[in-house]
Amino acid sequence: MNIHARIYVAGHRGLVGSAIVRRLLAEGADNLLLRTHQELDLTHQAQVEEFFTTEKPEYVFLAAARVGGIHANSTYPAEFIRDNLAIQTNVIHSAWKHGAKKLLFLGSSCIYPRDCPQPIKEEYLLTGPLEPTNEWYAIAKIAGLKMCQAYRQQYGFDAICAMPTNLYGPGDNFHPEDSHVVPALIRRFHEAKQAKAPFVVIWGSGRPLREFMHVDDLADALLFLINDRSPDSGTNVGSGKEVTVAALARIIASAVDYQGELHFDTSRPDGTPRKLLDTSRLSTRGWTSKIELAPGLAETYRWFCNQLTAVADRSTLQ
């Protein structure tokens, strides 16, 4: 990829999109095409078509999506499947139609069956039932991956898909109800520390195994993939390391310096018992994860605190 080409990052304000922008700028990108949701609603086909007709991006990173944790997925199933299908359909089609050289679509590890063998290989896709707690999002992402494959097969369009593991880092969503496990725990432990609460309740048993990767690691992998000439249309991206939810909670509690107890609410769903991606397809091509979990979480907590300080400062100024 020519770093000075017209590069469109869809979803540049989100967790992944903002990391991609940081990485591109560090490499010297000087022709980024960035639009907020207010400037360009990707669920509206006419708006997307007008943007691609006018701007004609040469490379596209499709990181825009409606995302959320178990609570959000179960509360808004219609929005999760409708909005994600619309976004990816509009962007992939218009990118091909207007001559983009390459498109990278962000999938998700949740596209794989709930109980498939571990670690999860790319070929396990569609070999069993999905995890019910996020099936609407997963089905949309599967459709996006298959659309990339279909456009490669029929039109020769260089559309690829990266399936990342669970992500965390600067720019994450720390909403108390709609966030994923890492930002949810960071916020919960921070608020418990501020309130001097004697314990923090954590959903589930704490026994499920999860793999986590810093979003800046993912951004590095995505630049590797956009420059890679491999014909693979779908590639797992992960750290290759797993940890129990209970151990993750203890690492976050340490990063926050919360001294209270951890109480596990077993009446809440655990989700998938284990989910570790097989990243051998990517590692054999020369890329491996670099950011370790504990320092990555500590850095994310510092970012979270800086955001709270910035909001407080703005409120004072007003």
The answer to whether 58 and 100 are in contact (CB under 8 A) is yes
Distances (CA, A) of 281 to 26, 151, 218, 230: 26, 22, 15, 10
Residue 280 annotated as part of some ligand binding site: no
Comparing CA positions, the residue from 168, 141, 164 lying closest to residue 15 is 168
Q: Is 182 among the annotated ligand-binding positions? A: no
Q: Is 17 annotated as a binding residue?
A: yes
How many beta carbons lie within 10 A of that of residue 76, not counting itself? 17
| Cα gap 249→202, rounded to integer Å | 8
Q: Is 12 marked as binding a ligand?
A: yes
Q: Is 60 annotated as a binding residue?
A: no
271 is in an annotated binding site: no
Q: Which of 59, 137, 151, 258 is catalytic?
A: 137
Q: Is 68 annotated as a binding residue?
A: no
Any known ligand binding at 75? no
Q: Would the annotation count 141 as a binding residue?
A: yes
> What single string gives the DSSP state of each residue in 202-213?
EES-S--EEEEE
| Residue 271, Ramachandran bin (φ over 0: left; ψ between -120 and 50: alpha; else beta) | left
73 is in an annotated binding site: no
Tokens of 92: 């992939």
Q: Is 16 known to sit in a ligand binding site?
A: yes
Q: Is 76 a catalytic residue?
A: no
> Helix 77-97 and helix 45-55: axis angle, to 10°?
30
Q: Report the catalytic residues.
A: 137
Annotated binding site for NADP(+): 11-17, 106-109, 141, 164-167, 180
Annotated binding site for substrate: 188, 203, 210, 270
Annotated binding site: 11-17, 106-109, 141, 164-167, 180, 188, 203, 210, 270
